[in-house]
Amino acid sequence: MSATDTHEPTRRDFLYIATGMAGAVGAGAFAWPFIDQMRPDASTLALASVEVDVTQLQPGMSLTLKWRGKPVFIRNRTPEEIEAAKAVPIAELKDPVARNNNLPADAPATDADRAAGEGKENWLIMVGVCTHLGCVPLGQAGDFGGWFCPCHGSHYDTAGRVRKGPAPENLLVPTFAFVSDTKVRIG
């Protein structure tokens, strides 16, 4: 046979192609349940982000909600709480890093870097899990007027920064954004 000769398809060629296609479809049908079970559950997807209306939170009030299986504290801080947090020098902090997922990893733990941002300094949003052993701290308690973990005695200030006790890090600030003046999306 030369390169210019053409080959007429035969019944055998058709059977090879049809068998190969049926095998591919069968393999796909067999593999699909294994692939499908790797997708996240619908309840997990629903918790990926949550929108919260903060209209009812007057200065000095807090709200605790559940996000990704963890408590999240939303606090509308009073001017006095903001001033108390601003007055703390970074050198006095146990953890000088902001731990704010909205900022670079090395951002300092100033009150401005822990709060919701310019124009919304009164809002503080944090994952409410003690960084020592994962307990849930009590709000508006402790030596610094912020949060207190009674399990092992960690004290957090009004910006959620660890100031005393065994906790090694500040409370985590999750990724969030205000979608309007009264609604915040977490996650």
CA distance 29 to 31: 6
Contact 125, 92 (CB under 8 A): no
Residues with Cβ within 8 Å of 73's Cβ and at least 6 positions away in sequence, in order, are 62, 63, 64, 124, 125, 126, 127, 128, 139, 147, 160, 171
Contact 115, 159 (CB under 8 A): yes
Q: Exactly one of 7, 132, 152, 155 is catalytic; which is it?
A: 152
Q: Verify whether residue 152 is a known catalytic residue.
A: yes
Place of tokens 């951002």: 107
Which tokens in the block code for residue 124? Answer: 């503080």
Q: Which helix (H) or strand (E) holds 122?
A: none
Which residues does the annotation mark as catalytic? 152
